[in-house]
Amino acid sequence: MIICTLCRRREAFFFRAYSGERLCRRCFCLSIERKVKTAISKYGMFEPDDRIAVAVSGGKDSLSLLHILSKIEKSFPKATLTAVIVDEGIKGYRDEAMKIAKKNCEKSDVGHIIVSFKELYGYALDEIAEMTEDTKLTPCSYCGVLRRRAINTAAKLAGASKVATAHNLDDETQTALLNIIHGDPIRILRVKPMLDPIQPGLVQRVKPLCEVPEREVALYAYVKKIAFQILPCPYSGSALRNDVRGILNRLEEKHPGMKYTIHRSMEKIRSLLEQSKLKTALSDCEKCGEPTVGKICQTCQILEALKRGRT
Amino acid sequence: MIICTLCRRREAFFFRAYSGERLCRRCFCLSIERKVKTAISKYGMFEPDDRIAVAVSGGKDSLSLLHILSKIEKSFPKATLTAVIVDEGIKGYRDEAMKIAKKNCEKSDVGHIIVSFKELYGYALDEIAEMTEDTKLTPCSYCGVLRRRAINTAAKLAGASKVATAHNLDDETQTALLNIIHGDPIRILRVKPMLDPIQPGLVQRVKPLCEVPEREVALYAYVKKIAFQILPCPYSGSALRNDVRGILNRLEEKHPGMKYTIHRSMEKIRSLLEQSKLKTALSDCEKCGEPTVGKICQTCQILEALKRGRT
């Protein structure tokens, strides 16, 4: 029997190549929760009296995050936690995920708010996918923008002072590399673990899982017996992101710890870029009044294009 | 017959996926020379009266660079060109490459200077490889530092005001990604196409091939019938760099133009980092007096370690 490096009592079931640790189930789960707590305190993500909204999709990441945050919240009596669930309107996929999400909320005794694309924008994602079938853009490119806005709207409805999303270490390093590969490295400033606080109209976003590798989040959900949706979204993701995911996984396999190193590199670049005063001032969208970098926000641009039938 | 996109007369022999051009041999070679001229003027690499040293190894990159620079130099009567050749002391490899290098210099009517590791440092690379066999460090890690210094020494001997090295687009993007992967993104500042001018003791380094993809340099050498050494160095390169090379080639294959996009991303990051006043001041090495970031330069550190037999 190989024993756990940490407790030196129980049987190890997981080898963490980048640290050399062999962990038992209990120590593994504690280590994940510790990684989340460390990120929260390192980036100063929460105040003791925050009203926190958690964006919950029904997948392994968001349900693990809900589970961990509801545990942590118990030590902060002045803080509150609400799940926000976005119904994009994807038949045979989201309905199932929403059921699972709601069940998990009940189990963790966390209230929830549901907003839907249909009621917010007039179209379900399935309808948008049909309307834009002949264009080069994938449903994902619309969904990304609309879901981000929907989460913000739901968080405001919940009276939240912070909104936590379940982006993990893999998501963060993939996005950073994609920004470089797309020739848009300034965006590195925008994919940080905690958005700048004073953005009127935007609930401050935080990413407590940003230092947990994706496969460890999955393993946590599995060990904790968290029921989550396994089906992938029927609208395939970006081909380039899938390539980058593969690249990072192969690199990590050969050189354990690489994802953390890239994450730290991005932190360094980000902190230097911030010194160079690149912060973008937001203004109010001329159509909907929501915060935007330009004159008309991306959400309104998409909705206008859908209305005109020119996408 | 598929005709050349540019001259619309001759037969195309090369498809440039990232631009969509199909080029004949002549237009292809002219386009490579144009890429070099564009990089030279974009980064302001040369003055009309520069005394230029070209670091020539005998491989396709440095001999193509020599060929192109000797062509360009003809239009600048006040400029001079000298090849600097470093003999690292690698039996069965460098001897051959040096012969080829010297022949090319004669053909291009360019004088040359040879410096060797043995005479500069007391050891040939083969000896260093033997002395350090039992250590984790590869001969390449010594060679990199010692060769850079040797090129600078040779350039000073040649009375050069600039030293041109043959780093191509692939080398540059590989190095940039390696810096990020190594968690040392600040080094992006140091791998730029043209080093800062005022570095006392250092001949200013420029990289005129920095915007030419590696396979196009190879094709240029082939079309121009430039004789170059094909043998790879017997000391294998870094495993991680080889991984990154493979990754970038596969990405470029699927998404043509990606190497240029990454190159531009690095330019943007670099220009922002430069605004944040990160420039490192160099001081004189306490042992040899050559410029260094710390107290003792890397060259002296290596030589000290070799002397002590503790590497």
Ranges A12-26, A200-214, B53-67: which has the least confidence = A200-214
How far is it, in rounded angstroms, from Cα A140 to Cα A235? 7
pLDDT on residue B311: 45
Residues in chain B: 311
Axis-axis angle for helices B169-181, B214-223 (nearest 10): 160
Name the residue of chain A whose CA is nearest to B188's CA.
A269
Asked if B191 and B205 touch (Cβ cutoff 8 Å), the reply is no
The pLDDT tens digits for A94-142 are 989 999 999 999 999 999 999 999 999 999 999 988 888 887 778 888 8
Q: Do B262 and A184 touch (CB under 8 A)?
A: no
The pLDDT tens digits for A259-284 are 999 999 998 888 877 776 555 667 88
CATH annotation of A42-230+240-274: 3.40.50.620
pLDDT on residue B280: 61
Q: Which residues of B touch A (CB under 8 A)?
A: 179-186, 239-240, 243, 247, 250-251, 254-255, 258, 261-262, 264-266, 268-269, 272-273, 275-276, 278
pLDDT on residue A37: 97
pLDDT on residue A311: 46
How far is it, in rounded angstroms, from Cα B264 to Cα B262? 5
Give the distance from CA A50 to its chain's centroid: 19
Mutate to test the interface with B, among A178, A244, A247, A253 (most CBs of B within 10 A): A247
- Confidence band for B284, pLDDT divided at 50, 70 and 90: confident
**Alpha carbon separation from B165 to B205, B274, B296 (Å, rounded):** 7, 23, 25
How far is it, in rounded angstroms, from Cα A301 to Cα B71? 52
pLDDT at B268 over 80: yes
**Alpha carbon separation from B179 to A37, A295, B172, B244 (Å, rounded):** 29, 37, 11, 11
Q: Do B180 and A179 touch (CB under 8 A)?
A: no
A80 vs A131, which has greater pLDDT?
A80
Residues 6+ apart with CB under 8 A from A25: A10, A13, A14, A223
Question: Which residues on chain B are in Cβ contact (under 8 Å) with A180?
Answer: 180, 262, 265-266, 269
Residues in chain A: 311
Of A181, A239, A262, nearest to B181 by CB-CB distance is A262
Smallest Cα distance from B266 to chain A, Å: 8
**Alpha carbon separation from A4 to A8, A13, A27, A215, A218 (Å, rounded):** 5, 8, 8, 19, 20
Burial of A280 (0-12, 13-18, 19+ CB in 10 A): exposed
Of A180, A183, A276, nearest to B275 by CB-CB distance is A276
Q: Do B186 and A272 touch (CB under 8 A)?
A: yes
Question: Which residues on chain A are in Cβ contact (under 8 Å) with B240?
Answer: 255
Of A181, A258, A273, nearest to B258 by CB-CB distance is A181
How far is it, in rounded angstroms, from Cα B240 to Cα B237? 9
Q: Do A265 and B240 touch (CB under 8 A)?
A: no
Q: Are strands A111-116 and B80-87 parallel, antiparallel or unpaired?
A: unpaired
How far is it, in rounded angstroms, from Cα B118 to Cα B55? 18
Asked if A206 and A163 touch (Cβ cutoff 8 Å), the reply is yes
- First and final CA of chain A: distance in angstroms? 60
The one-character DSSP state at A81 is E
Q: Which residues of A touch B (CB under 8 A)?
A: 179-186, 239-240, 243, 247, 250-251, 254-255, 258, 261-262, 264-266, 268-269, 272-273, 275-276, 278
How far is it, in rounded angstroms, from Cα B31 to Cα B23? 9
How far is it, in rounded angstroms, from Cα A296 to Cα A292? 7
- Confidence band for B278, pLDDT divided at 50, 70 and 90: low
The pLDDT tens digits for B30-51 are 999 999 999 999 999 999 999 9
ipTM of the complex in this document: 0.76
E strands present in A174-274: 204-206
Smallest Cα distance from B188 to chain A, Å: 10
Asked if B187 and B178 touch (Cβ cutoff 8 Å), the reply is no
pLDDT on residue B200: 73
Name the residue of chain A whose CA is nearest to B264's CA.
A183
Average pLDDT of span B4-24: 97
Tell me the sheet residues that pair with A23.
A14
Amino acid at B16: R
Name the residue of chain B whose CA is nearest to A263's CA.
B183
Smallest Cα distance from A311 to chain B, Å: 24
Report the percentage of chain A scoring pLDDT > 70. Answer: 96
Name the residue of chain B whose CA is nearest to A179's CA.
B265
- pTM (2 decimals)? 0.83
Q: Do B183 and A262 touch (CB under 8 A)?
A: yes
Smallest Cα distance from A189 to chain B, Å: 11
How far is it, in rounded angstroms, from Cα A5 to Cα B114? 56
Mutate to test the interface with B, among A174, A177, A250, A276 (most CBs of B within 10 A): A276
- CATH classification for the domain delimited by B33-230+240-276, as one of 3.40.50.970, 3.40.47.10, 3.90.1150.10, 3.40.50.620: 3.40.50.620
Mutate to test the interface with A, among B265, B278, B280 (most CBs of A within 10 A): B265
Smallest Cα distance from B97 to chain A, Å: 33
Report the percentage of chain B scoring pLDDT > 90. Answer: 65
Q: Where are the domains of chain A?
A: 42-230+240-274, 281-311
Average pLDDT of span A90-97: 91
Smallest Cα distance from B198 to chain A, Å: 23
Average pLDDT of span B1-19: 96
Task: Please choose, from the candidates A287, A288, A297, A307, the residue with its C-alpha nearest in 3D space to the C-alpha of residue A132.
Answer: A307
The 3-state DSSP class for residue B54 equals strand
